[in-house]
């Protein structure tokens, strides 16, 4: 239990730091964001491993999309990198998978981002929301593939003004834990 509590706290702190780093002077620091994401990922893995050993059946993903939209951090996306697209997120999901057609995603991304920002209020930044949400099991994500928060990807998009080719805005999940 201690491990899960600590893991959750670490994740909450990481999210807070990632969020506040967006308004930092000098822009996003890639190194710091990367380290925070790695800490968050390992905390999340440990948390899920601990959860899995505790409960036999983790509550399913049926209520995921609506709660996800409301509860996610402003600026952090609520996406689905895998197959089970639900409702309004279907479009986003398809967009995320068309990696080779990078140019088209340029048109999708800003709309997605604007939509998400409008929905969220300041209260969503409070870490209080996290304890109320259910845990989600990772499906189909391979270990070595590092799941970066969209804060990191925002950084890339912001920095792509120079000779760097535009990358698609991958969509990432915010883990809601309870």
- As given in the structure block, the two tokens for residue 32 are 């710091």
Q: 27 vs 131, which CB is nearer to other proteins?
A: 27
Report, in Å, the least distance between residue 147 CB and other proteins.
Answer: 7
Q: 39 vs 70, which CB is nearer to other proteins?
A: 39
Report, in Å, the least distance between residue 165 CB and other proteins.
Answer: 9
Report, in Å, the least distance between residue 57 CB and other proteins.
Answer: 27
Report, in Å, the least distance between residue 117 CB and other proteins.
Answer: 15
Q: 20 vs 63, which CB is nearer to other proteins?
A: 20
Range 35-43, long-range pairs (CB < 8 A, 24+ positions) = 37/146, 37/147, 37/148, 37/149, 37/152, 38/146, 39/10, 39/14, 40/10, 40/11, 40/14, 40/15, 40/149, 41/146, 41/147, 43/6, 43/7, 43/8, 43/10, 43/11, 43/14
Q: 5 vs 63, which CB is nearer to other proteins?
A: 5
Q: How far is CA 74 from CA 63, 93, 140, 143, in A?
A: 20, 19, 25, 26
| DSSP code for 169 | -
Q: 153 vs 174, which CB is nearer to other proteins?
A: 153
CA-CA distance, 49 to 154, in Å (whole number)? 30
Q: 25 vs 57, which CB is nearer to other proteins?
A: 25
Report, in Å, the least distance between residue 60 CB and other proteins.
Answer: 26
Residues interacting with other proteins, by CB under 8 A?
6-7, 10, 13, 17, 25-27, 29-32, 34-35, 38-39, 42-43, 46, 99, 144-148, 152-153, 156, 158-164, 167, 170
Other Cβ atoms closer than 10 A to 19: 17
């Amino acid at each position: 239990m201690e491990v899960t509590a600590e893991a959750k706290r670490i994740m909450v702190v990481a999210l807070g730091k990632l969020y506040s780093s967006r308004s930092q002077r000098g822009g996003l620091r890639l190194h710091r964001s990367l380290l925070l994401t790695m800490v968050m990922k390992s905390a999340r893995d440990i948390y899920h491993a601990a959860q899995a050993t505790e409960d036999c059946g983790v509550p399913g993903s049926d209520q995921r999309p609506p709660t996800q939209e409301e509860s996610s951090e402003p600026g952090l996306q609520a996406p689905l990198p895998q197959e089970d697209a639900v409702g309004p997120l279907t479009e986003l999901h398809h967009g995320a998978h068309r990696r080779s057609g990078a140019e088209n995603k340029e048109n999708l991304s800003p709309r997605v981002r604007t939509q998400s920002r409008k929905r969220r209020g300041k209260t969503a930044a409070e870490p209080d929301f996290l304890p109320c949400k259910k845990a989600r099991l990772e499906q189909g994500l391979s270990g070595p593939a590092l799941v970066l928060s969209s804060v990191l990807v925002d950084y890339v998009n912001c920095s792509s003004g120079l000779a760097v080719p535009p990358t698609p805005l991958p969509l990432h999940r915010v883990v809601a834990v309870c």
